Amino acid sequence: MSDRVTVSVIKADVGSVGGHARPHPLMMKKCEERLADGLRAGTIDDYYVTRVGDDINLFLTHTRGENNRDVHGLTWEAFMDATKVAKSMKLYAAGQDLLTDAFSGNVRGAGPGAAEMEFKERGAEPMVFFMADKTEPSSYSLPLCRSYMDPFTTTGLVIDPRAHEGFKFEIVDVCDSKKVVMSTPDETYDILTLLGDTTRYAIKKIWSKSSDIGIAAVVSTEKLNIAAGKYVGKDDPVCICRAQSGLPAVGELLQPYMFPALVSGWMRGSHYGGWYPCAVDDSDPVFFDGPPRICAVSLHVSNGVFQGLEDPTSPRGTHVALDYFKGSCWDKARSDAVKASIYMRRHGPFMPAVLGPEEMEYTTRPAVLKKLKERMEKLE
């Protein structure tokens, strides 16, 4: 058996009940069934099915490495079957994120989002899985910079010897499909120069600079608008973080979300709203199709499989992940997010409530400009 494990989270919106709100339980069940088939066939070693808003998130462990054809194919089949369920019930936007009829070996570029990391398991491997709805990958840049670069957030950067060595960041230019690896703390200001532009740059991966840890975090950065050749939806990205022992502690990963940053997405993928931290069960968009949501759940990876809080009523001992944003401690952040979102809504269709013209998922601008072509005069 390989001494390295791969953790993959592959996610897609393939239809929902109540508009773009929540996948039907039978769609989730269908995904569970397909992944159980994959487990029996030895394609994967374990799975966990969850969701945020209208997105189904498939968590997998296996030893096949990143971008594996069989693993991606299994999730593609699961999403296809869930789409069939959604279509049979005439649910909304059934199959939305499956952009092709023929699977070509990898879900990347085909619509679903994927975050995958391969590592050698430590003595204990606590992981935090962030799942966002109604927003885009660069939304993670601010909280990740706080957790991995800011000693006023992560005291570990100052007092934990291995965290103190710093981190390497892979930053992608999502518009031009380019990437660069940069280092903290030495290049901190240069990193922020790029990442401050959330319309173009996003963090893809973070590694520890300490010799014995490896990968620390990974974000799904497939931009659906580019994959589809046109804008068909914000990515609703996931971010996987390994935690503790030389990496940011769970608390240092979560703290940034106490500030509900304004992130892009929300209604029609075209607005800024306050990022609302919530439990998975509370992740249905309810205010102006949002506001943008963020969930954080934890499972350990133990001997190549997931370890959570087991459900004693389930025959298989189905995993139950720890749901961090469930508790009342996060009520203040939720209320701040709603307050910020109401403030933004007061601007109606004016910037900065709506995104810049290049980023709008919906627009009538070209048609209106075309109509006005003859009437538009040069200024004196």
Which residue of 113, 166, 237, 269 would you call a contact of ligand F6R, by CB under 6 A? Answer: 269
Q: Which long-range contacts (CB under 8 A, 24 or more apart) does 257-262 make?
A: 257/143, 257/294, 257/296, 257/325, 257/330, 257/333, 258/330, 258/332, 258/333, 259/333, 259/336, 260/333, 260/334, 260/336, 260/337, 260/340, 261/139, 261/142, 261/143, 262/340, 262/344
Least distance CB 289 / ligand F6R (angstroms)? 3
Q: Are 130 and 147 in contact (CB under 8 A)?
A: no
Binding footprint of ligand F6R, residue count (CB under 6 A): 10
Catalytic-residue membership of 133: no
Could you tell me the smallest distance in angstroms from the CB atom of residue 223 to Mg ion?
14
Could you give the CA distance from residue 136 to residue 236 in angstroms, rounded to a whole number? 6
324 is catalytic: no
Alpha-carbon gap, residue 1 to 11, rounded angstroms: 27
Report the partner that residue 267 touches, choosing among ligand F6R, Mg ion, none (CB closer than 5 to 8 A by kind). Answer: ligand F6R
Residue 15 found at the interface with ligand F6R (CB under 6 A): no
Which residue is catalytic, options 47, 234, 236, 323? 234
45 assigned to active site:
no
**Which residues of 220-314 form beta strands (DSSP E)?**
238-242, 262-265, 271-274, 276-277, 293-302, 305-307, 309-310
Instruction: Output the smallest distance, CB 290 to ligand F6R, in A.
Output: 7
Q: Given candidates 204, 268, 300, 319, which one binds ligand F6R under the rule CB under 6 A?
A: 268
Task: Using CB under 6 A, pick the residue from 234, 242, 300, 334 that binds ligand F6R.
Answer: 234
- Give min distance, CB of 263 to Mg ion, in A: 13
Among 46, 116, 252, 289, binds ligand F6R (CB under 6 A): 289
> Quick one: which of 45, 46, 54, 289 contacts Mg ion (CB under 5 A)?
54
- Judged by beta carbon distances under 5 to 8 A according to partner kind, the member of Mg ion, ligand F6R, none in contact with residue 55 is Mg ion
**Within 181-235, where are the H helices?**
188-195, 224-227
Q: Who contacts 305 (Cβ-Cβ below 8 Å, separation ≥6)? A: 45, 46, 61
Q: Write down the catalytic residue from 13, 45, 133, 289.
A: 13
Number of alpha carbons in the 13 Å side-chain half-sphere of residue 141: 27
Residue closer to ligand F6R (CB basis): 93 or 305: 93
* Closest listed residue to residue 276, CA positions, set 255, 298, 257, 302: 257
Considering the complex, state which of residue 15 and residue 233 has its C-beta at the smaller distance from ligand F6R: 233
Contacts with ligand F6R by CB under 6 A lie at: 19-20, 93, 134, 233-234, 267-269, 289
User: What are the residues binding Mg ion (CB under 5 A)?
Assistant: 13, 20, 53-55, 93, 133, 236
Question: Which residues carry out catalysis?
Answer: 13, 231, 234
